[in-house]
Amino acid sequence: MWKDWVRPFVRPLPQWAPVGVAPASRLVTARLRWDGESVDVTADHTVASLNPLVIATSVDAGERAVLEYRDAAAGQLLGTLRLVRDASMAEPQAAPLSFYRVEAGAHRCLHWPLRAWNAWLQNRSMARHASSAHLNMDPAAAQQLMIAYLCPRPVVLVSVEGAGHRNIFPMDLIGPLERSGLYSLALRSTNVSEPVMREVRRVALSHVPAAMKPVVYKLAAHHKQPPRDWAALPFPVRPSKTFGIPTVAGALRVQELSIVHSQTIGLHTFFVARVVSTEQLADGAQLHHTAGFHQVYRRRRRQPLQDA
């Protein structure tokens, strides 16, 4: 229809596309390149903080590196991030990790001139909605963050329980740091459960089906008022395997994490954890986020991801 053709020229693409993806599908691969060396970091890089935009990995890639995202099936380069080591962030003792600031980024999901035009429309929209967007990022960093989402990121519900406090809220700045056997979570330091997580040092992650998107988003909207009790949630819960923390009964997978380290990076608290247990409960499409322009690229190739 003519409207589908005209729309991208007058309206910005959504920054994030909520999609349903089978867990652990490697649709997009990530490779870190530096000084003539290169390693696959598809399961070994996470976002440690949004402002500044920092990537954590268990790979020591020297002072400067490039992170490349490629379509796994076609081999086509989708985007790159230029990284510079940030020595101001001390390497945590419990976790041999490297921190890299994102210096620049580019993607190839849209053809020129739509690529530049869409970035301009997105930046204008972000500036207009700056007070409600909560991202606290400058436009260049927001564009770079979208590139980091070329690898679709799973959305989980994080359950936290401490004395007199319980909460369950969505996160997607999470993931494994494969080579070190660690798992990280980047949480806004203002989150009401942040002090409790530092204290109890344990959480449970429910990897949820794509069909749960509405309820997942609703939990973020009410994040300032944690549930009065677990029974007040709009879905049934079941205790996690070792910690007995209530998790989503209809989850595809539940993981328990023991937090071994936390540090403040910009506006976020970067938690580093070890996986204590993994319960595989069901198969199906899991809720993920990818960049809006990645979904457009896949549509053009007639391989769209399932919209959640």
Ligand X SMILES: Cc1cc2nc3c(=O)[nH]c(=O)nc-3n(C[C@H](O)[C@H](O)[C@H](O)COP(=O)(O)O)c2cc1C
Which chain residues interact with ligand X by CB under 6 A? 155, 169-173, 186-188, 190-191, 216-217, 220, 223
User: Least distance from C-beta 161 to ligand X, angstroms?
Assistant: 16
Q: Please identify which residue in the block is written with the tokens 């056997």.
A: 181
Q: What is the three-class DSSP state of 110?
A: coil
- Residue whose CB is less far from ligand X, 141 or 186: 186
Q: Is the alpha carbon torsion for 35, 36, 37, 41 positive or negative?
A: positive
Distance CA 272, CA 283 (A): 27
In this complex, which beta carbon is closest to ligand X, that of residue 79 or of residue 175?
A: 175
Between CA 223 and CA 218 the distance in angstroms is 9
Q: How far is the CB of 62 from ligand X (least distance, A)?
A: 28
By beta-carbon proximity to ligand X, the closer residue of 201 and 223 is 223
H or E stretch at 99: strand 98-107
**Closer Cβ to ligand X, 79 or 170, answer by number:** 170
Which residues on adjacent β-strands are paired with residue 240? Answer: none
Euclidean distance between CA atoms 84 and 62, whole angstroms: 9
Least separation in angstroms between CB 162 and ligand X: 16
Task: Please report how close the Cβ of residue 105 comes to ligand X at its closest, in angstroms.
Answer: 19
With H, G, I as helix, E, B as strand and everything else as coil, classify residue 227: coil
- Of the pair 191, 290, the CB lying nearest ligand X is at 191
| Separation between Cα atoms, residue 245 and residue 252, nearest integer Å | 16
- In our burial notation (b when 16+ CB lie closer than 10 A, e otherwise), range 231-250 reads eebeeebbebbebebbbbeb
In whole angstroms, the minimum distance from the beta carbon of 299 to ligand X comes to 22
